[in-house]
Amino acid sequence: MIAQASSANETVPGRTDLLRQYLAVPAAIILALALVGCSEEDCLNCVELPAPVVPTGVHSISGDNEVIVQWYDISYSPYDGLYNENVVGYRIYSRYFTEGDQYDPDREFGPIGYVEWDENFDGSSGLHWFYDYDAVNGERYEYAVASVNAAGRESALSYEFVIDAPLPMGDAEIFDATVAPDLGGFDFSSMDNGRVNPDTQGSTADIRVVFDGDVPYVESVRPQEVRILDAGVHTWVDDEGGIHFDFEGVSWAPWDGWSLTGRLELVAGHIYVVEIIEPNGDPQTDGPLHYAKFGVESVNVANPPTRFIRMPWAFQTIVGLPELSVPDPTGGVSPEPVVMEF
């Protein structure tokens, strides 16, 4: 079933207005139909309910071949619980996104999932969530959410413009390139096979890690094509005072702030953004532009000379797109998503 972006007063196309149908049938049938899908508490008035209000606060979080969609429960402040007490769930919609078509008011969405009113809910934030496990790295998607009431009526689609592009993510241990060169460089486009020797002729490495004593540094292997910047410290503190690395703290590559020297000190808890012009074999023209990020989760200097950093990374495969995002901290088991502030 296909839904279209619509005005606030329209129901999703293809959904039937039950009340209009009931006016054309005998009273006994009306009563029987009214009882279907309604609880004892609302069976006398559910067919008279208007379409529910539109969900708000819809946003997304990128993952590796997945996207998390989040939105506010509509009985959550500032909404009136009496008006929305018959909302029974939410239907999630998506579509493939092409730059510029967000201005088309008739663009079509398809349903991809449904969340009951009491499922996937964080009471402290008032947010519901849905995992789109069918999202594919390298594609761009637009998302919307509609609420559903006890009479089966849907609201219009949510108004927020929400696009997402899932991207490959992982982690690696990068050693001191002056001691273990085969493990001291990283080629983001090779992703899980990204550890390479940065010093061989024709190396595809984008960055190398070197230590000065116990202090690690990152260097651009190709300063004219690979730029790096320090996006600062990104950590969070739990209720017991524990400090945790927050790799999702940087979700978009900035326009400026790049290192002029191509060399930066690596600090635990910091995130670094990388702008990469990929080589294309033609010195007269630039290759495709990609963005990546990596973090320093920890620095290990306990066993010199085998010093190394533990480095989560993310690489945007879509050419020219500066969107970067979040790894799965559980190593494959999807946790409750982190609540995003906006």
Helix or strand run (H / E) with residue 294: strand 289-295
Span 38-52, average pLDDT: 59
Looking at residue 82, what is its pLDDT? 56
C-alpha to C-alpha distance for 260 and 294, rounded to whole angstroms: 19
- pTM beyond 0.75, yes or no: no
241 versus 45: which is more confidently predicted? 241
- Looking up tokens 């009526």 gives 153
Query: What is 157-199 written as a DSSP string?
Result: PP-S-EEE----EEEEEEE-TTT-GGGSEE-GGGGGG-EE-TT
Looking at residue 283, what is its pLDDT? 66
Through-space distance between the first and last CA atoms of the chain, rounded to whole angstroms: 32
C-alpha to C-alpha distance for 160 and 112, rounded to whole angstroms: 18
For the cut 90, the answer to whether the pLDDT of residue 278 exceeds it is no
C-alpha to C-alpha distance for 213 and 215, rounded to whole angstroms: 6
Task: Give the tens place of pLDDT for each residue, 90-147.
Answer: 999 999 998 888 788 889 999 999 999 999 999 888 999 999 999 999 999 999 999 9
The CATH code of domain 3-164 reads: 2.60.40.10
The contacts of residue 119 (CB under 8 Å, 6+ apart) are 89, 128
Average per-residue pLDDT for the chain: 81
For the cut 60, the answer to whether the pLDDT of residue 251 exceeds it is yes
Domain segments of the chain as ranges:
3-164, 169-315
Tokens of 212: 């000065």
For the cut 80, the answer to whether the pLDDT of residue 78 exceeds it is no
Under 8 Å between Cβ of 228 and 264: yes
Span 11-38, average pLDDT: 41
100 versus 216: which is more confidently predicted? 216
Closest CA to 236 of 340, 157, 122, 151: 340
For the cut 80, the answer to whether the pLDDT of residue 329 exceeds it is no
Q: Where are the alpha helices (DSSP H) in the chain?
A: 18-22, 27-35
Instruction: Annotate 229-246 with b (16+ C-beta within 10 A) or e (fewer).
Output: bbbeebeeeeeeeeeebb
